[in-house]
Amino acid sequence: MDTSVKNKIKSIVGQENYFDSFEDRLVYSYDGTPVIQQMPEAVVFPQDEEQISKILDLANNVKFNVVPRGAGTGLSGGSVPTENSIVIVMTKWNKILEIDEKNLTATVQPGVVTGVLQKEVEKLGLFYPPDPGSLNVCTIGGNVANNAGGLRGLKYGVTKNYVLGVEMILPDGKFLRTGGKNMKDVAGYNLRDFIVGSEGTLGIITKVLLKLIPKPTKSITILAYFDKLTDSAQAVSDIIAAKITPAMMEFLDNTTINCVEDYTKIGLPRNVEALLLIEVDGRGSEVKEDAETVKFILKKNKALAVREAFDEAQANILKTARRSAFSALARRMPTTILEDATVPRSELPVMIEKIVKASKMFDVMIGNFGHAGDGNLHPTALTDEREQKELDKAHRAFNYIFDEAVKLGGTITGEHGTGLAKKQFLEKVTGPVGLDMMMRIKKAIDVNNILNPGKIFSLAPKCEGALPKKREQIKNFNEQSSE
């Protein structure tokens, strides 16, 4: 990128919000996704909508790429820079602008941390259900861009079910406001829901209006262990078939249980094949009734032990342990590739078997856990990216896992998004017609393909050139530093 262009960008955002040293660019050269990385040309922290608009204008005029970014917790490379790009960081837009108790809504800037918002609304007896594993770090803007899920998706749905309105700067620099505080709105096309999950390719989110619901007042958390994986999967199916909708129904396999126990030391048994962590919630007597039915079904499916958390503190310890699964697995090996293949709930037992098979067939250590009630699993390869052979084995295993998920009517990604990491698999799910439709829409909205290009799909073969490189730069940097 020309110095003159860099100077123009600097003059838009101001010297103090512009960074292009090697170290600054390095920090924003990757996100939560393993293996992929690319250095941006510069990193900027815009102060208002007008600055974002001017940057996008400039990008269209002199042709550079713009990659928006929140906390960078994404697991599909959606915020990894592309070639010839600048990163727009939105984390400082972190104000909760309004909590409207009459309409049960919250208006927030995109950089608000999800867990912070949850705590604020819960003080008022309200509830913002979407709870991605990274909720204490990730931001609402990123959640909206990825349509983030979480543990409570089964009963409460995902981010899109709570987005009432979005303000954003479109790729051509124009300001769009869509949606509002109306519970129903069918005026024109549903742009709002289309923007949710578009991974920063259709605009840069500057404000989000969220729906809140009354907080459930009662909950019961139940823990069960199983000698056999298949029994735990059958229990999950039976609970759904019994017309109970738990707030969460989480599954951990033996590898994950052991890693979590190493990490948290809360006394999980190390020799069981599976664990289910189930929470039922609500406001009335049905909570207790549901808990009893759940316990009955667990025992019928040969659960070794079925325990009810005796208070909220204990329930929270269990839920926190579950949330630590990714971090716990990540300690085991240098590289952790966490995926989110998802299948119809009835296919969960089959999919769990297929993942076990993939681990053996391709000789990769795969821990498996996830949102069993959703059919949303997190098979996690524990590998070492420094060994290309090991990495190749992991990729082959996931290729097999995605194929099997799609054969079962499933999808390659339940909640992480497509980004860079999974775009090669996208057509398996969308088919050529769906993929073509997506690409046509991107072209119609981002004529010069300057906003987060190459994510989700590549508009032209040349864009493959923008595929991120491996972590060479980090190695080089480390070598430089130690010299």
Q: Which of residues 171-210 bind a copy of itself (CB under 8 A)?
A: 174-178, 180-191, 193-194, 196-198
Give the nearer residue to a copy of itself in terms of CB position, either 147 or 336: 147
Candidates 48-56, 249-257, 326-334, 416-424: pick the segment binding a copy of itself (CB under 8 A).
Answer: 416-424
The yes or no reply on residue 440 touching a copy of itself (CB under 8 A) is: yes
Rg (CA), the chain: 23
Interface of this chain with a copy of itself, residues 351 to 410, rule: CB under 8 A:
371, 373-376, 409-410
Q: Is 437 in the site for a copy of itself (CB under 8 A)?
A: yes
CB of 285 to a copy of itself, least distance (A): 4
**Could you tell me which of 91, 44, 94, 56 has the C-alpha nearest to residue 70?**
91
> Which residues ranging from 274 to 303 are in contact with a copy of itself (CB under 8 A)?
282-287, 289
Q: Is 431 one of the binding residues for a copy of itself (CB under 8 A)?
A: yes
Instruction: Out of 435, 459, 463, 467, name the contact with a copy of itself by CB under 8 A.
Output: 435
Of 33, 51, 256, 342, which one interacts with a copy of itself (CB under 8 A)?
A: 342
Residue 190 has, within 13 A of its CA and on its CB side, a CA count of: 9
Question: Alpha-carbon distance 167 to 136, whole Å?
Answer: 24
Which uninterrupted H or E stretch holds 43? strand 42-44
For residue 230, state whether it binds a copy of itself (rule: CB under 8 A).
no
Residue 299: which residues within 8 A CB-CB, separation 6 or more?
306
State the Cα–Cα distance between residues 298 and 352, nearest whole angstrom: 18
CA distances from 438 to 175, 422, 433, 434, 441 (A): 22, 15, 9, 6, 5
Q: Which listed range, 59-67, 100-108, 321-329, 462-470, lies at the site for a copy of itself (CB under 8 A)?
A: 100-108
Interface with a copy of itself, residue 346, by CB under 8 A: yes
328 binds a copy of itself (CB under 8 A): no
Buried b (16+ CB within 10 A) or exposed e, 24-38: ebbebbbbbbbbbbb
Q: How many residues bind a copy of itself, per CB under 8 A?
A: 93
The Cα–Cα gap between 257 and 275 comes to 8
The single residue among 314, 324, 430, 473 that binds a copy of itself, judged by CB under 8 A, is 430
User: Does 122 engage in binding with a copy of itself (CB under 8 A)?
Assistant: no
Binding to a copy of itself, residues 25-64 (CB under 8 A)? none
Of 357, 276, 354, 378, nearest to 319 by C-alpha is: 276
Between 149 and 468, whose beta carbon lies closer to a copy of itself? 149
Q: Does 433 bind a copy of itself (CB under 8 A)?
A: yes
**Residue 440, burial from CB neighbour count under 10 angstroms (0-12, 13-18, 19+):** exposed
Strand 105-108 versus strand 65-69 pairing type = unpaired
Shortest Cβ distance from residue 391 to a copy of itself (Å)?
23
